[in-house]
Structure 1
Amino acid sequence: MTSISPTTKGQDVGILHPKVLLFSAGIAVSAILGYRIYRRYFKRIRTILDLTPEILEDNQKLYGYVTRVGDGDNFRFYHTPGGWLLGWGWLRHVPLKNKIIMRDETLMIRLCGVDAPERAHFGKPAQPFSEDALEWLRNYVYGRYVTITPYSIDQYKRIVARCQVWKWSGKKDVSAEMLKNGVAIVYEGKANAEFGDCEDWYRRLEKRAKWFKRGVWSLGSKMITPGDFKRVHYRGE
């Protein structure tokens, strides 16, 4: 008959000891929580497929670098999670010379709450102040680190988001600054429109720019909204 040594028996009991089980459970829970924290706050978001429903529902802020401004109300964004604390800008750098990464691993951001004049597309004419809006946005955010608050994804796979950037006078809301300067108007269409909690503020800023005839409002009665411009020149309505 085979006998069980006291040492072997003690090892078997030790593995099932409540303290050992509790320690193992603690390790498992810590690993799960650690992964969730990494996924939520430190994993770099390369495409909209990485943008989880939780990030959109919670309007989780994302920090990153503006790599390109191609229109008056949207730009390309390279996510740099953790920002300066994780070395971005001093130990780690945005790979601007890597064209593949700049094309495939940047997010297209559509500024929330505003609509800029339409540039020339597909042989269609440009709207007055469209180049002014592009140049203004390019000077304001291109090559800078910004914070975006994502709200939704539109029909063109762009992230509709609030964008904020630090200036010498403090943190600025980019949509608000465009409205102040008359290089954009409050977004007209309610479908897919996102304002966060800024809609009333945006409308007051637009009203003030209109009163002082800034930017597009200097056209007076000749001013056509971007929405109407697209309906006439792009949809033939």
Structure 2
Amino acid sequence: MPWPPWAFWRHDQPTASSTNDDKQDRSTVAPKPTSWATRLNKTEWTTTQTILIAGVTTATTLAFLRFYKTHIRRVPSISHLKPGALRNRSFYGLVTRVGDGDNFHLYHTPGGRLMGWGWAPRRRVKDIMERAKAKGTQTMHVRIAGIDAPEMAHFGRPEQPWAKEALEWLKGWIGGRYVRVYPFRQDQYERVVASVYRRRWGVWKQDVGLVMLKRGLATVYEAKRGSEFGDQEEVYRAAELRAKQKGVGMWQDQGLINRLLGRKGSSESPREYKTRMAQQEKNGKSADMAK
């Protein structure tokens, strides 16, 4: 027997009474209390979990907001277009009206058919057209970048040859259809200058400005400043040159047959036309002031 009796006594050694109690019912035994170190470690792990969950929730919320602003939120007009969107994103929408041979109005439909545009209630083409007519601020005014179409009659100026042909072709090509625009800048007429693409049969993506150049319905934009081509300037100039060589559209030869058929060629580009009209108006004002 060890002496003193308590020298080798351990609290975890079962006694006779405890052994009998365990045999009777182990479920009645009180759980062993945990130490303060165990509780502290458990508390630290719970705090870490809370921080991780908060971080993941915040990151998910911010990512969703960014996705919404970039891909789901509709931009109703150019006044709502933030400068950061220029050259950094594209816009998909329905062409509601073609105003001239090189500009039109776009109703932004973010997400396309996946978001119900074109088939869901209040998002059908007919509804979009009616909404665009009722409120002029519902569309973005787009100027096709890199090209200049013949001028229609306006502000007292006469119509330029092939202006109607260019306008009618553009109406038939993109009017009431979905296109994607890549904006570069905003011009002095509150329009967004952008490259415009239309898909044919849902597969081939065609540059609208390039097609017009190939058909002789526009010239390469020749302003001294503010020209925008993306990375297509050389392609555009080559297309215009081929159209001139083929004599298509406004570059048709003014021969007898074309005159009999009522076809008109253009002796000046839209840029030359604008310059001539501006000079005439300036001379007219000078003459009025001299009287």
User: Normalising by the residue count of structure 2, what TM-score does the alignment of the two structures yield?
Assistant: 0.72
Measured on the aligned residues, the alpha-carbon RMSD in Å equals: 2.2
Partner deviation per Cα, 1:113-167 (whole Å, 9 max, x = no partner): 0000011011210111111110110111001011111111111111111111122
| Structure 1 equivalent of residue 101 of structure 2 | 72
Map of 1:132-151 to 2, 5 A cutoff?
A: 132-151=165-184
Unpaired segments ≥5 residues, structure 2? 1-39, 255-264, 283-291
Partner deviation per Cα, 1:76-122 (whole Å, 9 max, x = no partner): 00000001111211223242113565511100010010000011011
Partner deviation per Cα, 1:200-225 (whole Å, 9 max, x = no partner): 11111000000011111125795111
Conserved 8 A contact 2:146-2:220: yes
Map of 1:139-178 to 2, 5 A cutoff?
A: 139-168=172-201, 170-178=204-212
Shift of 1:49: 2.8
Q: For 1:108, which of 141, 144, 153 is the aligned residue?
A: 141
* Aligned equivalents of 1:186, 1:31: Cα separation in 2: 46
* Aligned equivalents of 1:57, 1:208: Cα separation in 2: 29
| Structure 1 equivalent of residue 150 of structure 2 | 117
* Aligned equivalents of 2:60, 2:101: Cα separation in 1: 45
1:188 equivalenced with 2:222 (yes/no): yes
| Structure 2 equivalent of residue 216 of structure 1 | 250
State the structure with bigger RCO (CA 8 A, min sep 6), 1 or 2.
1
Percent identical residues: 41
| Partner SS for 1:17 | helix
| Structure 1 equivalent of residue 79 of structure 2 | 49
1:37 equivalenced with 2:67 (yes/no): yes
| Structure 2 equivalent of residue 225 of structure 1 | 269
Conserved 8 A contact 2:87-2:182: no
Name the larger-Rg structure. Answer: 2
What stretches of structure 1 move > 4 A for 4+ residues in a row? 99-102, 219-222
Partner deviation per Cα, 1:171-223 (whole Å, 9 max, x = no partner): 21100110011010000114111100111111110000000111111257951
1:93 equivalenced with 2:121 (yes/no): no
* Aligned equivalents of 1:22, 1:197: Cα separation in 2: 45
| Partner SS for 2:230 | coil
| Structure 2 equivalent of residue 4 of structure 1 | none
1:28 equivalenced with 2:58 (yes/no): yes
Aligned length: 225
* Aligned equivalents of 1:43, 1:219: Cα separation in 2: 50
1:104/1:26 CA distance change after superposition, 3 Å:
same
Shift of 1:230: 1.1
| Partner SS for 1:157 | coil
| Structure 2 equivalent of residue 126 of structure 1 | 159
* Aligned residue type for 1:64: G
| Partner SS for 2:130 | coil
User: Normalising by the residue count of structure 1, what TM-score does the alignment of the two structures yield?
Assistant: 0.87
Unpaired segments ≥5 residues, structure 1? 1-9
* Aligned equivalents of 1:79, 1:101: Cα separation in 2: 16
Conserved 8 A contact 1:124-1:234: no
* Aligned equivalents of 1:196, 1:133: Cα separation in 2: 22
Conserved 8 A contact 1:67-1:143: yes
* Aligned equivalents of 1:93, 1:50: Cα separation in 2: 23
